Amino acid sequence: MLQHTFHNHTWMCRHADGTIEDYVSAAAEQGLASIGLSEHIPYPDDRWKGTRMDFSELDSYIDGVLEERRSHHDIEVFLGAECEWIAEYRDYYDMLLNEYGFHYLIGAPHWTPMADGSWLGYTRLSTPAQLRAYAAHVQDIIESKKFLFIAHPDVCFSGYARWDAEAEACSRDIIRCAKEHQVPLELNANGMRKRRITDWEGRSRRPYPLYEFWELAAEEGAEAVIGSDAHSPSDIIDSCGTCASWFRKLSLQDAQHRLHRAVRSRAADLDGSGFQRAPCVHTESL
Ligand SMILES: [Zn+2]
Ligand SMILES: [Zn+2]
């Protein structure tokens, strides 16, 4: 069922293995029709530096992916990036798309901005107020209109490990917003590869995806897409079969073909227009 994979990492993010070439070859061997690389993007202020490529590596990442795009004829290759949403850098995302020629960006809520200006990591979300801040942030990501889809929208349940009225209300807000703006939500296979946690009922389960969240998504009729979020070339389809079984069981609406058409058409436009990308310049002032 999986033909297009949009969410894949390489050694460049410091917490994954494999080169761009390794991923593209592995995806072609698995019989996929396309693969998008979506490395964790660096930010102008070097925020969260330990888990992403350095700004000085951005040119070689872009060139590396485009080189694979030119040289592989057995699979389509797309240039993507996984991004946190930092509202003050709104122009940076436009620069990635319009000046550096990224084919697509994935919006990811690993970090939530808090009222005091700090950012809280997803495993540390534990109070209802923090969960509400997370849900508001995910809606901001959706409403920014910069992103093809939202990576693991239910990653908050790694921290807020219970399904109560607050969890349901926050999930419904995210899902309805995604549906309204036609931004698909990603059922993330990497969560299924993570170490099990003990949940509110003493059940052993993966930290995310959370089945209850996806039952709501199905009920609301939101679009969904399977994301491998591979951190090794051997993981490209790993656990995607389990995700596909959730799709079937819940009759989730699969957005992979619509997203593929959108990305392919943007990539073809860039290829055909003689687009020359700007060199990546590290500057804090945008
Ligand atoms: Zn990662
Ligand atoms: Zn990822």
Q: Stretch 224-253: mean pLDDT, rounded?
A: 96
Q: Which domain holds residue 180?
A: 4-272
Task: Quote the number of domains for the chain.
Answer: 1
Quick check: 18 and 10 in contact, CB under 8 A?
yes
CA of 9 to the centre of ligand 1 (A): 7
pLDDT in the model for residue 285: 62
* Residue 153 counted as domain residue: yes
CA of 185 to the centre of ligand 1 (A): 17
CA of 80 to the centre of ligand 1 (A): 14
CA of 5 to the centre of ligand 1 (A): 15
Q: Stretch 52-67: mean pLDDT, rounded?
A: 95
* Residue 190 counted as domain residue: yes
Residue 125: which CATH number?
3.20.20.140
Buried-exposed string 93-113: b where 16+ CB fall within 10 A, e elsewhere = bebbbeebbbbbbbbbbbbbb
| Average pLDDT taken over every residue of the chain | 95
pLDDT tens digits, residue range 80-113? Answer: 999 999 999 999 999 999 999 999 999 999 999 9
* Residue 206 counted as domain residue: yes
